[in-house]
Chains A and B, each alone.
Chain A
Amino acid sequence: MTDRDFNIELAGEVFRIKAIYDCAFEFCRDYLTEKPESATITISQSDIDFERETGNKNDLDIPKDYPDSYLELLAIYRKVATVMPERDVLLIHGSAFSFDGNGILLLADSGVGKSTHASLWQKTFGGRVVMINDDKPLIKAGKDGAYIYGTPWSGKNGINTNTKAPLKVMCEIVRSETGRTYVEDTDDSERWKILTQQTFKGASAGSAAKTLELTDRLLENVPVKRVYCALNDVSAVEAYEGLKGLLDQSER
Chain B
Amino acid sequence: MKLKEGFCTQKIAKGQVMVPIGSADTDFRGIVRSNSTAAFVVDCLKEETTRDEILEKLKATYDAPEDVMAKDLDDVLEKLDSINAINR
Contact = CB atoms under 8 A, between A and B. Distances in A.
Interface of A: 188-189, 192-193, 196-197, 201-205, 208-209, 212-213, 215-216, 220
Nearest to A213: B10
A192 B34 CA distance: 12
Nearest to B22: A203
Contacts of B17: 192, 196, 212, 215-216
Contact of B31 (A192, A203, A205): A192
Interface residues of B, number: 15
B33 A189 contact: yes
Nearest to A193: B31
A17 B40 CA distance: 43
With a 10 A CB-CB cut-off, give which of B12, B23, B33 has the most chain A CB atoms: B12
14 contacts: A192-B31, A193-B31, A196-B19, A201-B8, A203-B21, A208-B8, A208-B10, A208-B21, A209-B8, A209-B9, A212-B8, A212-B17, A216-B10, A220-B13
- Most B CB atoms within 10 A — which of A196, A204, A212? A212
B8 to A, nearest CB: 4
Contacts of B30: 193, 196-197
B21 A204 contact: yes
Contacts of A197: 29-30
A63 to B, nearest CB: 23
A187 B14 CA distance: 13
A213 B12 CA distance: 7
Interface string B1-36: 000000011101110010101110000011101000
B26 to A, nearest CB: 14
B31 A202 contact: no
Interface in B16-61: 17, 19, 21-23, 29-31, 33
B12 A203 contact: no
Contacts of B8: 201, 205, 208-209, 212
A53 B59 CA distance: 49
Given A209-B10, A213-B12, A220-B13, A192 B33 contact: yes
Given A192-B31, A193-B30, A193-B31, A208 B12 contact: no
Nearest to A212: B10
Contacts of B23: 203
A189 B15 CA distance: 12
A40 B59 CA distance: 51
A205 to B, nearest CB: 5
Contacts of A208: 8, 10, 19, 21
Contacts of A192: 17, 31, 33
A94 B19 CA distance: 20
